[in-house]
A and B are shown apart, each in its own frame.
Chain A
Amino acid sequence: MSVKKLKRETHPDYIFNRKYEPLIYLVPFAIGLLIFTIYPIINVVIMSFKEGYRLSGNYTGWGIGNYQFVLTNKDFLSAIKNTFIYVLTVVPISTVFSIIIANLLNQKVKGMAIFQTAYFLPMVTSSIAVGISWRYMFNKQFGVINWLLGLFGVAPIDWLGATAGQAPWNIVVIIIFGIWNLMPFTIILLLSGLQNIDPLYYTAAKVDGASSTKIFTRITVPLLAPTIFLTMIVNMISAFKVYNEVIPFWSGKAGVLSNNLYTMVYWIKETFYSKLRLGNAAAASIVLFLIILCFTLLQRWIQKHFNY
């Protein structure tokens, strides 16, 4: 018998539940939530329509000026472009690598603890700190990466620097770093997706004489497809907020030329914190939110429609 939808007087829980009791448990949570989550969300929407808004709270008037400003601002547009380049390279590439690694890890390998540690460690460590190591690995003269490429006859690449006002390799650096950072999480999600595939499918396919490649392309990938999609979208949502990955390489600046590698969050932080243009930053953060929202809705939709 379902007691879920019953009225107050007929649900057993109410017998044990004094009317004020939920308050005791929820009030501490609600206070923090109201002040630091709900109010800011509402406020940022309002703020984005206040023109000339300053830290003091003064503003000159209402309007869509902030949106006009950010959507025509060269730096913000370039931040959007950079962010999209980052998302659309980092997420697919790390997904492909992760599918391979997750699939190999799922083959009942020995030494799982060692492999897990190697593959998952970047997830728990600060990108600001480990980024320092990467920074020196990318060093033009002494870096191991150029040394390694040199073995194959590649001339030293100026990863972190610029020549003649151009720094094409800067974004590649944060893409590589981003892929490395994102892989652990992606592998974990895919691995748990793989472990949810009923081994009977594999047994059946082997009995039918399917080759390992055939099994991988005809069984594993199709059955894993929903997980792959989902993981990619979750990753995209987090990749759109790229910020920490930019910090270690140029001592906190966005690229060697100081502004060639703006990301959306970086621009928002700069505009609000250094330039104190809160209204502009608010509008920009709403643009970011709307982009993320699209992907979140896509994620919800996939979750609903592709559950085997």
Chain B
Amino acid sequence: MKNNDAVKKFFIYLILALGGIIMIFPFYWMISGSFKTAAEYNSFPPVWIPGNWLNFDNFTKAFEQAPLMKYFLNSCIVTFSSVTINGFITILAAFGFSRLKFKGKEAVFALLVAFMMVPFEMQVITNYQTVARLNLIDTLPVLVIPFTSSIFYTYILKGFFDTVPDSLYYSARIDGASNWKYLWRVMVPIARPSLVTIMLLNAIASWNSFMWVQLVINSDRNRTIPLGIFAFVSDAGSDPKLQLAAATIAVLPMIILFLFARKYIVSGVSRGGIKG
């Protein structure tokens, strides 16, 4: 019996390890590739481990050939603005839908939830026309403004606000707190885990956003990182090692974010599903 269990355990770990290696391999290949010398990169059978992990030549060259720093900065600005503005608006809206009473609230909210199934791709044509009319094409704000109001995040946060007992609200109000004060002093601190989750999901979505950026950004200086490296890669003649180095730079912040906030991200995804 004991022996049997040990064999079973061994196979569990074996399969998990093999699967895990397959899943993680593209990342390893990307990162290791960006440290390889030309000889190492072009050898076949492949060189698995770069000879020198401190060989930053590829990074240096990549930074020389394309304004990666600028892309990176743009991505930071866009992601930060999106997360804060969207977060603020979502908090207000979730509070409005969860706590305040007005005529037809349930019906309005049900309608919004129905809108959630409409793919963004369907709205993209009109949105392009709208931002063109607002003269926002090829600016950074255009990457933030259309995404300030998110039904999905509002839906998640409202769901959490709904679980806060009414008695907390009445208590605070009897003590003289205004709605505004109650929201920021009581509701938001209590909802912190949910709030962190939606902000993380939003940050990931913002950072990785591609199609919209591809449509509305024309000039090099306004590119965010995914579009920037896409352009870098598409430019004929650029070296695969440099491309991998650039990709590593694009992916690294999200890997770090994931390592630090794995629990929040995983719980957020399993609770709300993910935005398609």
Contacts and interface: CB of A to CB of B under 8 A. Distances in A.
A249 B148 CA distance: 32
Contacts of A99: none
B126 A130 contact: no
Given A128-B230, A132-B233, 11 more contacts: A16-B170, A32-B146, A44-B123, A55-B129, A109-B12, A123-B269, A125-B251, A126-B251, A128-B229, A251-B234, A285-B124
A37 B123 contact: yes
Nearest to B268: A188
Contacts of B270: 188-189, 191-192
B112 to A, nearest CB: 8
A202 interface: no
Interface residues of A, number: 98
A164 interface: no
Contacts of B8: 212
B122 A41 contact: yes
Interface stretch (A69-77, A84-92, A265-273): A265-273
B244 interface: yes
Contacts of A123: 265, 269, 274
Contacts of A141: 44
Interface stretch (A100-108, A165-173, A216-224, A254-262): A100-108
Contact of A188 (B90, B147, B207, B269): B269
B30 A132 contact: yes
Contacts of A107: 12
A47 B115 CA distance: 19
Contacts of A36: 123, 127, 130, 145-149
Contact of A252 (B20, B33, B147, B230): B230
B239 to A, nearest CB: 11
A133 B170 contact: no
Interface in B20-72: 20-21, 23-27, 29-30, 33, 42, 44-46
Contacts of A265: 121, 211
Contact of B204 (A38, A124, A289): A124
B210 interface: yes
Nearest to B146: A36
A29 B89 contact: yes
A212 B5 CA distance: 11
Contacts of B27: 121, 125, 130, 133
A147 B250 CA distance: 27
A29 B240 contact: no
A142 B115 contact: no
Max chain B CB contacts within 10 Å: which of A24, A136, A269?
A: A136
Interface string A217-242: 00000000000000000100110010
Contacts of B128: 272-273
B126 A133 contact: no
Interface of A: 8, 11-14, 16-17, 21-22, 24-26, 28-33, 35-41, 43-44, 47, 55, 57, 97, 100-101, 104-105, 107, 109, 113-130, 132-134, 136-137, 141-142, 144, 147, 180, 183-185, 188-189, 191-192, 212, 234, 237-238, 241, 243-244, 247-248, 251-252, 265, 268-269, 272-273, 278, 281-282, 285-286, 288-289, 292-293, 296
Interface residues of B, number: 93
Nearest to B232: A132
A286 B129 CA distance: 18
A118 B30 contact: no
Interface string B119-138: 10111111111101000000
Nearest to A183: B23
B16 interface: yes
B273 A29 contact: no
Contact of B93 (A25, A124, A252, A269): A25
A120 B255 CA distance: 10
Contact of A21 (B89, B115, B179, B265): B179
A185 B96 contact: no
Given A44-B126, A212-B8, A126 B207 contact: yes
Contact of B247 (A31, A43, A120, A132): A132
Nearest to A141: B44
